[in-house]
Amino acid sequence: MHKQCQCGTTMGLELRKVIFAGKVEILHVPVFSCPSCFSSEVLQHVTKDIKELLQSLGDNPAARRISFARSNELAEIIRKLVLEEADNPNVDWQSSLEERMELRINLLLDLYRYARSLGDEDWMNDVEKKLTQLSGFTSKSVFTNTKN
């Protein structure tokens, strides 16, 4: 999982704690960071969901700590991947990520069909939202510098 920084160095994908409004801590935010010039950016694919999460907290949020992985499928997949493969020196992050995303999407599609067979619209909407968080993200987009 790499991306080219503007300074030419390869950036790494990692999960970070990001603090908003000086008091709201959001854990497990996928971020690209550069080990050379220390610039970093939130993964574009999740910025919309982070904005929504912040908006849901209102104008004057109380101090709290939230895990972004609890409301975002992609962050959750990366969180588990990092957790389970951290000690594996031979892990191929890109194919592991792709594999896990594919498994998760298949599971969600099964759930969606099941929810539809029950006529449970709330459940269908919930699963659909999760699928949207994963669709459109390919690890190829991770390799392209889309900043400019």
Cα-based angle 110, 68, 15 (whole degrees, multiple of 5): 105
Among the listed ranges 33-41, 56-64, 74-82, 115-123, the one in contact with Zn ion (CB under 5 A) is 33-41
Q: How remote is the C-alpha of 98 from its chain's centroid?
A: 13
3-state class of 141 per DSSP? helix
Q: Considering the rule CB under 5 A, would residue 35 count as an interface residue with Zn ion?
A: no
In the bound state with Zn ion, the residue whose beta carbon lies nearer, of 36 and 47, is: 36
Q: Considering the rule CB under 5 A, would residue 37 count as an interface residue with Zn ion?
A: yes
**How is residue 15 annotated by DSSP?**
E
Q: Considering the rule CB under 5 A, would residue 34 count as an interface residue with Zn ion?
A: yes
In the bound state with Zn ion, the residue whose beta carbon lies nearer, of 9 and 94, is: 9
Q: Considering the rule CB under 5 A, would residue 118 count as an interface residue with Zn ion?
A: no
Q: Considering the rule CB under 5 A, would residue 21 count as an interface residue with Zn ion?
A: no
Provide Rg for the chain, Cα atoms.
17
Judged by CB under 5 A, the residue of 4, 9, 67, 96 near Zn ion is 9
Rounded to whole angstroms, what are the CA distances from 117 to 20, 54, 82, 109, 133? 41, 34, 35, 12, 23
Where on the chain is the footprint of Zn ion (CB under 5 A)?
5, 7, 9, 34, 36-37
